[in-house]
Chains A and B, each alone.
Chain A
Amino acid sequence: MAKSGIRIERLAKRFGSGDTAVLALKDANMQVAPGEVVGLIGPSGSGKSTLLKCLGAVIDPTAGRMILDDTVIYDDGWKVRDLRALRRDRIGFVFQAPYLIPFLDATDNVALLPMLAGVANDAARERARELLTALDVAHRAQAMPAQLSGGEQQRVAIARGLVNRPPVILADEPTAPLDSARAMAVIRILNDMARRFETAIIVVTHDEKIIPTFRRIYHIRDGVTQEEAGEGRGFES
């Protein structure tokens, strides 16, 4: 199955209606290929968050198209019935704070997604362990989130985002709370994983430290995206 990443065309989102309507997103266009890590940058109120939520299928856009892995998922209306399953199986999330489930240990935090999709507990845990090994936190597999350091938590969170092998991962300010060394480490991991799992990764950030690492950057201003080349050349393995 050939992967084609994610593409959005003329995506728009209007909140409210009539005179009080606010057009948070006017014309968003993006194309991210599998294995690619792009940045999404914009000041507060630029529609950055709205775009992320639309991408994450958490809010409904009002117009435009979204194509995920050659499947049209939105074309002036959702084309998939189960958005929950879509989020679970085909979109990975990595948040600013790790937002791990505090009452599950690292393995189960990761294994929860395949479990929710109906994978047997043992198989799900096996997949989780693989990922934790890949992310170098296998030694903390049975620790509770509260016992993990910030970096470890973020790695577990990335593992959770990856576990169902989604074609796209949305990372929302994944490095905000980290110092530059750790932030760089996270970006490195994201790049590694994107390549390894052929996943398109969109990193929403305004972290000056990491902006230079992107090859391509989408700027968003007043609900309009604008693509420009970044300075970075990514991280070669």
Chain B
Amino acid sequence: MRLARLKPRTLGVISVVAVLLVLFVYVALRAGPLAPIAITVTSVESRSIAPALAGIGSVQARYTYKIGPTAAGRVKRLDVHVGDGVVAGQVLGEMDAVDLDERLRAQQAAIDSADAAVRQADARQAYARSQARRYEELLAVRFISEEVVANKRQELAVADAALAAARSDTSRLRAELEALRAQRGNLRLVSPVAGLVVARDADPGTTVVAGQAVVQVIDPANLWIDTRFDQISAQGLAAGLPAQIALRSRQGEALPGRVQRIEPRADAVTEETLAKVTFAALPQPLPPLGELAEITVRLPPLPAAPTVPNAAIFTVGGQRGVWKLVDGKVAFAPVALGRFDLDGRVQVHRGVAPGERVVLYSERSLTAQSRIQVVERIPGVTP
């Protein structure tokens, strides 16, 4: 009976103390800086990887035709709007002629007047010629003096010259008329190719300078992606490689394409290589120009080699390497890295062999002295 009275209390005290002690030891060793570092482990696999390059770019037209007047002037009319399809030779609009027609008429009148002057000079020349012939005959019979005949010969030469001048003047005026007519014809804005109007930069009434584009036309059949690849990850980029194009407006849809060419000049400031990527088949509806596109260029698969995820690569003392798991402890092994693919797998040329177990994820930075605990998943990571 006494024992029965004593026991529950003693048991209670002992159990409370025991629970506290166990918790305390757990807390001291399993939490805080003394706790072992949770790591996950992966095996080095020997496998082939297909490296890929990722670039970013925007949809651009291969050819852009900027149509505008060759002389300063005012826009008279524009027949097309943005989005209209045009055919080659189609008149898209016209510049205002202003006084050009009047100048044409004046020129015509000047030509008429010059023609009259030619006729007048012709008549004068005919008369001078007949006079000269008659005085020659009179000189032959010694009816008049030599001096008079010389006088008539000089008059004929003057009349000849006057006629030639009048004729040249006429052709000059005619040429000027042609020039005015050409200008008149050039007031029309004509599309050189069949294409799509993408910009209408000035509306009727706007005065534009020579060379300023009024309408821009592109060739929609020739769209490409102006792509930038980071130089560090542009190894193996070459013209002709197949590419996948993901447009920002069509996420999740990969359009086939091809690397058209690598630009001979890279961007020195952004440290990027520029390339043009064309669509295998143009998507319909056409993507707007300037739309963002992500480009993935798949390179031919590499021969099998020891491969680890890139998360297993750590840097210790400036050296890249892996933490190998040997007898429950970690040991750092420097490695020589090869190519990687976009899924984060990297080939290792030297330092590990297939089948070796290496640290993949770790809770904290590891050192060779770290106490470790291999877990399935790092605590706190939701699957």
Contact = CB atoms under 8 A, between A and B. Distances in A.
Contacts of B5: 143, 147
Interface in A138-157: 142-143, 147
Nearest to B2: A142
Contacts of B6: 142
A142 B2 CA distance: 7
A143 B5 CA distance: 9
Contacts of A143: 2, 5
A143 B3 CA distance: 10
B348 to A, nearest CB: 71
B4 to A, nearest CB: 11
B8 to A, nearest CB: 13
Contacts of A147: 5
A-B pairs, 3 with minimum CB distance? A142-B2, A143-B2, A142-B6
A106 to B, nearest CB: 11
Nearest to A140: B2
* Majority-rule SS of B interface residues: helix
A133 to B, nearest CB: 16
B3 to A, nearest CB: 9
Interface residues of A, number: 3
Interface in A113-146: 142-143
A96 B127 CA distance: 179
Nearest to A143: B2
Interface string B1-33: 010011000000000000000000000000000
A143 B2 CA distance: 7
Interface residues of B, number: 3
A121 B257 CA distance: 97
5 contacts: A142-B2, A142-B6, A143-B2, A143-B5, A147-B5
B159 to A, nearest CB: 158
A142 B6 CA distance: 9
A147 B2 CA distance: 11
A167 B232 CA distance: 104
A76 B6 CA distance: 51
Contacts of A142: 2, 6
Interface in A39-77: none
A114 to B, nearest CB: 22
B13 to A, nearest CB: 13
A25 B339 CA distance: 109
A146 to B, nearest CB: 11
A147 B6 CA distance: 12
A147 B5 CA distance: 11
Nearest to A142: B2
A138 to B, nearest CB: 12
Interface string B108-147: 0000000000000000000000000000000000000000
A199 B5 CA distance: 36
Nearest to B3: A142
A83 B74 CA distance: 128
B36 to A, nearest CB: 44
A142 B5 CA distance: 10
A143 B6 CA distance: 9
Interface in B313-355: none
Nearest to B6: A142
Interface string B265-288: 000000000000000000000000
Nearest to A141: B2
A147 B1 CA distance: 13
A127 B278 CA distance: 109
B11 to A, nearest CB: 17
A118 B5 CA distance: 30
A154 to B, nearest CB: 21
Interface string B206-226: 000000000000000000000
B6 to A, nearest CB: 7
Nearest to A144: B5
A225 to B, nearest CB: 46
B2 to A, nearest CB: 5
Contacts of B2: 142-143
A153 to B, nearest CB: 17
A142 B10 CA distance: 14
A36 B2 CA distance: 37
B5 to A, nearest CB: 8
A68 B111 CA distance: 168
B303 to A, nearest CB: 82
A143 B4 CA distance: 12
B238 to A, nearest CB: 91
B312 to A, nearest CB: 63
A136 B6 CA distance: 22
Interface string A180-202: 00000000000000000000000
A235 B324 CA distance: 94
A142 B3 CA distance: 9
Interface string A141-178: 01100010000000000000000000000000000000
A113 B2 CA distance: 24
B23 to A, nearest CB: 27
Interface in B35-66: none
A143 B1 CA distance: 10
A148 to B, nearest CB: 13
A131 to B, nearest CB: 19
Nearest to A147: B5
